[in-house]
Amino acid sequence: MENLACRRGGRLIFEDVGFRLGNGEAIALTGRNGAGKSSLIAMLCGRLRPEAGVLRIEGADDAPLQELIHLVGHRDGLKTSLSARENLDFAQALLGDAALPADAALERVGLAHIAELPVGYLSAGQRRRVALARLLVSRRPFWLLDEPMSALDISAQAMLTGLMEAHLGEGGAILAATHGPLGLDGATEVRIGP
C-alpha cells in the first residue's frame, strides 16, 4: 500500500500511509480513536474507496481481493438464531476453501460445549470466539482483524495469539488494528495519525 489517503464525510482522516505486508508477516495497526484504523481495513477489503494512493497484491494470480481475505470486524456478522456450529457451517459453505470442520474449529476456540446453542444466547466473549473460529473453517491467506482481542479473557487472548502464530507459520499474513498487545513477537507496528 502506497500513499493511501482517506476522506470520510468530507474530512481528511489520514494521508500518506504506506506499508508492505509479506507472507508470514504481521502488522499491528495502531492509532487513537477515530484515527482511521477501521477505515483503512475497510479499504483493504474493498469496502471503501481510497481518496488517494495505491493498493496492490503481488503474486496472487489475479485472484480478487475478497477471495484472499478473512475479515473479523467490530460487527461479527453472526446469525443470532443459528447455533455456533450452524454459523460456521454456513461460513464454510459461503467462503469455500474448506479447512477445519465446524466442530474442530469450535474445539480450538474452547466452545465445543456450546456448539448447539443459538449465538444470540452467547456472551460477548463467546460470540467473539465464534467469529474467530470462522478464520479456521476456510483457508484464506490474509487475515484482517479489527480489534480482535476485544471482549476476550486472558486465556482466549493467548489462544488467539496461538492461532495467529500458526497462521503466520503457514505463510499467512495478518493486519490487526489494535489498542493493546497482540502477543506476536515479530509484528511490525504501523501507527496512523498523531
Ligand X SMILES: Nc1ncnc2c1ncn2[C@@H]1O[C@H](COP(=O)(O)OP(=O)(O)OP(=O)(O)O)[C@@H](O)[C@H]1O
- The site for ligand X (CB under 6 A) is made up of 8-9, 13, 31, 33-39
To the nearest whole angstrom, how small is the minimum distance from the Cβ of residue 13 to ligand X?
A: 5
In the bound state with ligand X, the residue whose beta carbon lies nearer, of 27 and 102, is 27
Identity of the residue, 35 or 111, whose beta carbon is nearer to ligand X in the bound complex: 35
Q: Which is nearer to ligand X, 38 or 161 (CB)?
A: 38
**CB of 6 vs ligand X, minimal distance in Å:** 8
Instruction: Give whichever of 20 and 191 is closer to ligand X, judged by the CB atom.
Output: 191
Least spacing, CB of residue 38 vs ligand X, in Å: 3
| Least spacing, CB of residue 56 vs ligand X, in Å | 22
Q: Name the residue with the smallest CB distance to ligand X.
A: 9
* In contact, 135 and 143? CB cutoff 8 Å: yes
Nearer to ligand X (CB atom), residue 8 or residue 20:
8
3-state SS string for the chain: CEEEEEEECCEEEEEEECCCCCCCCEEEEECCCCCCHHHHHHHHCCCCCCCEEECCCCCCCCCCHHHCEEEECCCCCCCCCCEHHHHHHHHHHHHCCECCCHHHHHHHCCCHHHCCCEHHHCCHHHHHHHHHHHHHHECCCEEEEECCCCCCCHHHHHHHHHHHHHHHHCCCEEEEECCCCCCCCCCEEEECCC
Minimum CB separation of residue 194 from ligand X in Å reads 12
